[in-house]
Chains A and B, each alone.
Chain A
Amino acid sequence: MIYEDEILMLVLGLGVLTFMFLNYSNLKRIALFKLLATAFCMFVAGWILTVLEGFFWENALNFLEHTCYAAGAIFMAIWFWKMFGRAGRAE
């Protein structure tokens, strides 16, 4: 089953992904940007999977979708921790 909001989210997500790759040379100067980029890619993967689950393997792909969200959140948490957590304690 296809939901319009999921298609919209996927289209926007792919647009942002393209934007990220186009500006990668600028963005990579941000410390540990690879972690953040990986987190975002995980989220995009989740959005793709949530669209695909409407066509086939619903349960399996739903499982993978939430796995991607969890992994993306963990990568994001690590990036946050490395960027501000330790530095905050050092201050």
Chain B
Amino acid sequence: MHPVAVFDFIFFSACLFCLVVLLKGFKRAFRTGTKLLLAGLLLFSLVYSFCLALEWSGISDRLEGLEDFVGAVLPMWWAFVFYAMIQEMASRELAASEAKYRTLVEQTPLVTYIASLDKLGSRLYISPQVERMLGFEPPRWLTKPGFWTAHLHPDDVERVLNELEASRRANTKFVCEYRMIAKDKHVVWIRDEAVAVTDESGKKLFMQGILYDITDRKKAEESLRRSEAKLQSIFRAAPVGIGVVSNRVLLQVNEKMCEITGYSSAELTGQSARMLYPTQQEYEHVGTEKYAQISERGTGTVETRWKRKDGEIIDVLLSSTPLEPEDLSIGVTFTALDITARKQAEAVLRRLNRELKARNKELASILYAASHDLRSQLVNIQGFGYELSRCCEVVRSWLASSDLSGHVSESVDIAFRKDIPEALDFILASTVKMNALLSGLLDMSRLNAAAIDMKRIDINELVGNTASSMEYQIQEASAKVDIEALPSCFGDASQIGRVFTNLLGNALKFLDSSRAGRIHIYGREEGGQSMYCVEDNGIGIAAKHQEKIFQIFYQLDPTEKKGEGLGLSIVSHIVERHNGKIWVESEVGRGSKFFVSLPST
């Protein structure tokens, strides 16, 4: 075989191989947009192979003209291939660039637009985000001139168009915030920033800008403005002085602050707080104390003294809290309350309290002395009364046994037999009564003086012992006493014992004789208090008496000789000294309930 034929065979095989590869990869090549290139190369391969085939098959002689023509234009196929490649590359790069730009423009949260230079700002392009922002599809913006102006808020139209015109004239950036009416009629706040795009000669071509939704920001600003207004009104109207300091320099003060200090706002602002303190020591003390509290608890409260502009020293209560807990240098807000009057009142109150205590002590000693001294005199009266009574008896016996009966006037006889004994009986009964009263007063006097020995008391044992000691009276009254389990309490056992003795004694004393007496003692613990109740089915207490029965010497029926009106008064006194409470619930004819509440812890 001729060596040239081998190379032509190689050439022919390579062309066939290319053909196969092209056909196999055509799907992908077609999709990637290189179809022109492929078609060109394919045609070249086919045609040239065809020419070779013609030459070697011997047909070329008959189709010589065709082979020559095809062979001559072969370079043109290559030219076509290179040109197609360049076009394809440019086309693909442009498409990629456009895709990038479009992605950038249409994926940002902003709306990008191009507007004509007419007065209505008609849109030539607007990115699709506008539909999400205002509800109108982009084509509506582009097809209707003046669409933008038509959807501006009526109150903003004039201002916005004026600003647009002004920026065009001044060749400056158009920046404007305005409201637009969305498709669903709600108001959207927009910030519009646009610039005029010019050609190389400086001629304006169009406006290019961005829109972004600032509704949330506007709402926040409005909310902030209202909040600021509220704070300002509080600041102005507050009945206490309010101010802001930074590094102890006054930054802002309200009118009340000026009123308290006597300085004007201008005189205080920018000055060190030192000017308000009478001494450097006081100033430093407040600083140390207040800032220590702030760093510990976040707020600081200090009582101090200030010196007014007129030199008067006043007492103030300062409360401070930092604007930013982490950084005190930003500022500390403080309130100043003028407590001068309160301090003076407290001083007066303390003085009066001291005087009252002294008077009470004096009164108690007078009461004790009077009771004691009166009682000793009463013993004399009682003693001599009995002596006179005995003497009267002697005189009456002597008159009865002597012969003088006929000689003694009838009046003398009546006096010794009736009047004098009756008078002496009254005197003696009164001395007994007065003795009991004085004993009661002495009791109360001793009660006031006695110290309270606070201990936990087993009330079950204490009430049980009390009932046992009164067993005789219980049997005399034919009463039945039920005692439930009682909670313990804190108190002085002897004094609390007296409380229950008095209450049980009273219950027995005022039982209803028409029915069997029943006394029920029970209790419970709640809210740190032990509450006890002594309930009876006695005669009961009318509502009008219920508040008075704890008063000293008060008796339901003074004609009945059932005591001196001191028992419940003493009980009430003891309970009060234990920080407890006593009260009664009663109904006439049904009985009474006496409640005692004492601390359980």
Contact = CB atoms under 8 A, between A and B. Distances in A.
A, B co-complexed: yes
B86 A84 contact: no
Contacts of A66: 4, 7-8, 11
B183 to A, nearest CB: 46
* Interface of chain A, main secondary structure: helix
Contacts of A29: 89
Interface in B59-114: 68-69, 71-76, 78-79, 82-83, 85-86, 89-90
Report which residue of A6, A12, A43, A80 has the largest number of chain B beta carbons within 10 angstroms of its beta carbon. A80
Interface string B5-30: 00110110011011001101111110
Nearest to A75: B14
A63 B86 contact: no
B72 A8 contact: yes
A52 interface: no
Q: Find the residue from B27, B41, B78, B89 having the highest chain A CB count within 10 A.
A: B78
Nearest to A90: B28
A84 B24 CA distance: 8
Contact of A63 (B3, B78, B89): B3
B21 A88 contact: yes
Given A30-B89, A66-B7, A69-B8, A15 B79 contact: yes
Interface in A53-90: 62-63, 66-67, 69-70, 72-74, 76-77, 80-81, 83-85, 87-88
B7 A9 contact: no
A16 B78 contact: yes
Of the four ranges (under 10, 10 to 19, 20 to 34, 35 or more), the interface on chain B belongs to 35 or more
Nearest to A59: B4
A37 to B, nearest CB: 9
B11 A12 contact: no
Interface in B116-165: none
Nearest to A85: B21
Given A12-B72, A29-B89, A76-B18, A70 B7 contact: yes
A91 B71 contact: no
A42 B28 CA distance: 28
Contacts of B69: 5
B18 A70 contact: no
Contacts of B3: 63
Contact of B7 (A6, A8, A44, A69): A69
B82 A27 contact: yes
Given A5-B69, A9-B75, A27-B86, A81 B14 contact: no
Contacts of A16: 75-76, 78-79, 82
Contact of A62 (B4, B11, B15, B24): B4
Given A26-B89, A70-B11, A88-B25, A5 B76 contact: no
B13 to A, nearest CB: 8
B22 A9 contact: no
A84 B72 contact: no
A19 B14 contact: no
Nearest to A3: B68
Contacts of B83: 19
Contact of A12 (B10, B18, B76): B76
Interface string B504-542: 000000000000000000000000000000000000000
Contacts of A83: 25
A14 B68 CA distance: 18
A10 to B, nearest CB: 8
A27 B82 CA distance: 8
B10 A73 contact: yes
Given A23-B86, A47-B75, A84 B7 contact: no
B242 to A, nearest CB: 73
B75 A26 contact: no
A9 B78 contact: no
Nearest to A74: B14
Contacts of B82: 16, 19-20, 23, 27
Interface of B: 3-4, 7-8, 10-11, 14-15, 17-18, 21-22, 24-29, 41, 68-69, 71-76, 78-79, 82-83, 85-86, 89-90
20 contacts: A5-B68, A5-B69, A5-B71, A6-B71, A9-B72, A9-B74, A12-B72, A16-B78, A23-B86, A27-B85, A29-B89, A30-B89, A40-B78, A69-B8, A70-B7, A76-B18, A80-B22, A81-B21, A83-B25, A84-B29
Query: Lowest 8 A-B CB distances belong to which pairs?
Result: A84-B25, A73-B14, A88-B25, A12-B75, A13-B75, A66-B7, A5-B68, A70-B7
